[in-house]
Amino acid sequence: MRAFTYERASSVEAAAKAAASNSQARFIAGGTNLLDLMKLEIETPTHLIDINGLGVDKIEGTQEGGVRIGALVRNTDLAAHETIRRDYGLLSRALLAGASGQLRNKATTAGNLLQRTRCPYFYDTNQPCNKRQQGSGCSAIGGFTRQHAVVGTSDACIATHPSDMAVAMRALDAVVETVKADGSRRSVPIEDFHRLPGDTPHIETVLEAGEVVTAVTLPPPVGGKQIYRKVRDRASYAFALVSVGAVIQSDGTGQVAVGGIAHKPWRIATAEAELPRGAKSTADALLADARPTEQNRFKIDLVRRTLGAVLTEARG
Amino acid sequence: MASPIHLELSRPQLLISSVVTSVVTGTAAEAATAQSPGAEMPQNSKVSMIVNDERHEIEVDNRTSLLDALREHLRLTGTKKGCDHGQCGACTVMVEGRRINSCLTLAVMHQGDEITTIEGLGEPGNLHPMQAAFVKHDGFQCGYCTPGQICSAVAVLEEIKAGIPSHVTSDITAAAPLTTTEIRERMSGNICRCGAYSNIMDAIVEVAGTRA
């Protein structure tokens, strides 16, 4: 790990300002992803801004009848919160399907959204990676790609976003609240928060330099059957090959997002309109633009089958 | 909220080299020199934490993980370093009553925190019930993962008691049941290379007081 200086931020505004003034600085909250990457020198910040004391760690109701989740709320606390379990069961389920008990105790809401891909070529500093080093090339393309993205990919990157939580938040129409370095605030729908790789896969979100995520809000509860189904190589403590997060209403309509197949949680409005017609037509529409490799073509079938299982469970 | 900590500067030019990291992070004796206000920020920090009911004040390279601080600075070597990447669980300790991977957090981030390690749970002659159960059921072979397994197991039973749901809880709006399925899922962050899992389960189940 490279050496770095360290400070504890005293306010959101101060944290944003400090980060904006130093391009080599990073925020640290839970640290479970950042420190892992720093040990491997994939991330090499020269300054860390500890934001754990900012106080944005509460879950509260919004005026609209929804819920505001502080950026620093730990994954365990979010999954176990009474309101989330009762009204946003999909979010609880997705959180509990991810990581281990120890990691969930530390990992934060914003950190979960901002976690980096687990593409093995991103992790291998001996190989080119456009995410690690812009323009160096993609080692995954033409390599071992069983875990990689099948849709929304580019010639520069086929990495997936690893989060379970983000899939649930995408299906639930979450909005990310931030404070910029100049003190101004904005709300970014999660649909627009994560970027597709294009030819700049090293830029993963729309956050600007210094911009701090302060909260994620969810709209009022939508009811329905809320299901998160994750398919992985182990029964526990593994990243998804494919996951489906869905809210299905009694008339068969609903909201569905898919994880493990793209650079961001994958949700397509036209595909969702197909939900009452079943898993096949929905999956076909979700993956209409898919460009799988020989090794991850199975994910096309797996999405359809996983969605089929979710719809069956929702009817039951 | 504490203000940014201002501490002594210590050989930053040397610390830049990652090659010396392990040496430097393991050495409390980094000669620190006084720093005037406004000078470059230091790469070392002083941190005070309460470990097993005892207050400790140490100076660490900012890179020092909580795990390395416990082992190398406080000589509490019961907590083990396995993968050092949060995958194996050997470094599990309790911070402010919650189990975490001590390898994936910085010592400097734990100013004032209360930490319990395997040494704080019990000692020879006065074992914690979970330690005694691991001995009785032979819940290990080589023993390297054991401190982490025991810290995790103690926390798992607390988490179930506190009503925290898990991936295998069928009704997440109700209290999670105390079953072997629940315990297994919650222990998935602790790997045992020797494969002593069935005996580990027997030990935990005995302490949990269930045969569900």
**B91-97 average pLDDT score:** 98
What's the CATH number for B42-121? 3.10.20.30
Token reading at B42: 């230091």
Looking at residue B39, its pLDDT comes to 53
Distance, CA of A71 to CA of A272 (rounded, Å):
29
- Residue of B65, B152, B167 with shortest CB distance to A97: B167
CB atoms within 10 A of CB A32: 27
d(CA B149, CA B168): 20
Which residue of chain A has the CA closest to B98? A105
Does residue B38 register a pLDDT over 50? no
Q: Please answer yes or no on whether B65 and A236 come within 8 Å at the CB atom.
A: no
Residue B21 phi, psi dihedral angles, 5° rounding = -50, -50
Closest-CA residue to B198 (of B140, B133, B154): B140
Q: Report the residue of B6, B44, B45, B167 to disrupt the A interface, i.e. the one with the largest count of A CBs within 10 Å.
A: B167
Alpha carbons B77 and B68: distance in angstroms, whole number: 9
Preferred mutation among B106, B158, B187 to probe A, highest tally of A CBs within 10 A: B106
B 43-102 → A contacts, CB under 8 A:
43, 45, 61-63, 65, 84-86, 89, 92, 98-101
Q: What is the total residue count of chain B?
A: 212
Which spans in chain A are helix H?
Answer: 12-20, 34-39, 75-80, 82-87, 89-96, 101-106, 109-114, 120-123, 165-171, 190-193, 269-272, 279-286, 298-315
Say yes or no to pLDDT of B5 above 60: no
Mutate to test the interface with B, among A48, A105, A243 (most CBs of B within 10 A): A105
Partners of B188 on chain A (C-beta within 8 Å) are 100-101, 234-237
State which fold the B123-212 domain adopts: DNA polymerase; domain 1 (1.10.150)
* CB hemisphere CA count around B125 (13 angstroms): 0
Helix (H, G, I), strand (E, B) or coil at A11: coil
Picking from A166, A101, A243, the residue whose alpha carbon sits closest to that of residue B176 is A101
Instruction: Tell me how far apart the alpha carbons of residues B51 and B94 are, in angstroms, rounded to a whole number.
Output: 10
Nearest to A10 among B1, B169, B187 (CB): B1
Residue of B21, B61, B101 with shortest CB distance to A102 = B101
Where do the structural domains in chain B lie, given as residue ranges?
42-121, 123-212
Q: Which among B11, B98, B184, B186 is the top mutation candidate for probing chain A, defined by the most A β-carbons within 10 Å of its own β-carbon?
A: B98
Q: What is the mean pLDDT of residues B201-210?
A: 93
Rounded Cα–Cα distance for residues B95 and B195 (Å) = 27
Nearest chain B residue (CA) to A80: B164
B39 touches chain A (CB under 8 A): no
**HEC readout, B121-135:** HCECCECCHHHHHHH
Q: Does position B153 have pLDDT exceeding 90, yes or no?
A: yes
Strand intervals (E) in B39-163? 44-51, 54-61, 92-95, 98-101, 114-116
Query: What is the DSSP secondary structure assignment for residue A227, as one 8-state letter?
Result: E
**pTM recorded for the entire structure:** 0.92
Helices (H) and strands (E) in chain B, counts: 8, 5
Residues from chain A that touch B189, judged by Cβ atoms under 8 A, are: 99-103, 237
Nearest CA in chain A to B160: A80
- Which stretches in chain A have pLDDT values below 50? none
Tell me which chain A residues have a C-beta less than 8 angstroms from the C-beta of B63. Answer: 1, 3-4
**Cα-based distances in Å from A162 to A159, B52, B157:** 9, 36, 29
Residue A129's pLDDT is 98
Phi, psi of B118 (to 5 degrees): -60, -35
Instruction: Kindly identify which residue of chain A lies nearest to residue B13, measuring between CA atoms.
Output: A3
Q: What is the rounded end-to-end Cα distance, in angstroms, of chain A?
A: 51
Element holding B204 (H helix, E strand)? helix B197-208
Residue B28 pLDDT more than 70? Answer: no
- pLDDT value of residue B40: 76
Whether B14 has a pLDDT exceeding 70, the answer reads: no
- The answer to whether A46 faces chain B, any CB pair under 8 Å, is no
Beta bridge mates, A61: A67
**DSSP E strand boundaries for chain A:** 5-8, 25-28, 47-50, 59-61, 67-70, 175-179, 185-189, 212-218, 225-231, 242-248, 254-259
Please tell me the predicted confidence (pLDDT) of residue A21: 96
In chain B, what residues touch A41 (CB-CB under 8 Å)?
18
Q: What is the mean pLDDT of residues B140-147?
A: 98
How many Å apart are CA A88 and CA A301, to the nearest integer? Answer: 28
Inter-chain Cβ pairs, chain A and chain B, closer than 8 A:
139
pLDDT in tens, A143-201: 999 999 999 999 999 999 999 999 999 999 999 999 999 999 999 999 999 999 999 99
Within 10 angstroms of residue B21's Cβ, the number of other Cβ atoms is: 18
In this predicted model, which residue has the larger pLDDT, A229 or B16? A229
* Helical H segments across A81-220, by residue range: 82-87, 89-96, 101-106, 109-114, 120-123, 165-171, 190-193
> Is B189 in contact with A79 (Cβ distance < 8 A)?
no
